[in-house]
Structures are given as C-alpha cells and as structure tokens.
Amino acid sequence: MSLKQGQIDKILGAIGNIYTLYSGSPNVSVTGTLNETVLQSVTVPANVLGNGGSIIVIPLWQMTNSINTKTMRTRFGGALIEDIPATTSAGLQHLTMLYNTAINAQVSFNVSNNSGLGLSTLAPVTFNVDTSIDQVLSFSGLLTNIGETIALKGLYVGLIPWTN
C-alpha cells in the first residue's frame, strides 16, 4: 500500500488517531525450505513517523507443534525487530511497539520477548532506520525441519503519527 501526499497530510493532521496500515488475514505460510521466507510486507510511508511517531504490530502466527524450532521474525527497513523461536507450541500472538526517537533512530522492547509486554532482563534495543524514505516492515518464518509449517494467519499494523 502506498500513500499519496494528501493522505499523509491527513494522517499528520489527525492528532491522537491511529492510522491502520494493514489489518487482515494474509493466511500465508512457509514449508519445504530451511531459508527465511517473507510471508507479508507492509510499507511505512516516508516522513509519517517524524521524530516521535510509533508503529504498533500485532501478528497472529500458527505453527507445527513439535520439538523442532520455528522462528517468527519481523524486520523494519532490514533491521531485525523481532526474532521469536518457538517449540512445542501451535500458535502465537503478540504485541510490539516500535518508537521513532528521531527521523533515523528507533527503540523497541528486546527482540526475543514473546509477548512484547512485561518485564525482561534484556534492555530495549535501538535501531537506525531512515524513516525519511519509505521503509518496509516484513514478516517472515524460518524452519529447522522442511516438513513443518509456519503460517501468518492474522496481522495488524498501526501507525501513530508524530504530531508535534
């Protein structure tokens, strides 16, 4: 999805509103490969995050319930913001917030926390993605057994624009 300048202006003028970049049931999966496979991509338009905007990410994953590791990943502008391994689980839904602290700097909860909320012994992580240009938020799966499956069953990506 690509936004036109008029749409971006409307987003930036909507103080306190959350803009939905994607909401749906992609129902896409990976099986038969040991390579990381992108299942869904969402474009975050240039300049809408400014110096203080945020991205809300809520994916719903389904995977083969076995002792083998299945890894769900999210990348923003190529930077790894989530890396969640799972074994003996059949599903996962979690929340991640990515905060722009400058046009080219972000902070988020640590990348390996399954819920995105709560306490952690790991510090928040920082990224340096230039949000003055369009950036891609991608969701991928990585298997350790080609006979198993990771599926992205649902996804919400919201944008809280910078309003200062």
Q: Which residues contact 20 (CB under 8 A, 6 or more apart)?
A: 156, 157, 158, 159
Residue 26, judged by CB atoms within 10 A of its CB (0-12, 13-18, 19+), counts as middle
pLDDT band at 15 (very low <50, low <70, confident <90, very high): very low
pLDDT band at 114; cut points 50, 70, 90: low
> Domains in the chain and their CATH numbers?
5-160 (2.60.120)
pTM for this model (two decimals) = 0.86
146 DSSP assignment = T
Mean pLDDT of the chain: 88
Q: Which two tokens stand for residue 34?
A: 């040991």
151, 92 in Cβ contact below 8 A?
Answer: no
Which pLDDT band holds residue 155 (cuts at 50, 70, 90)? very high
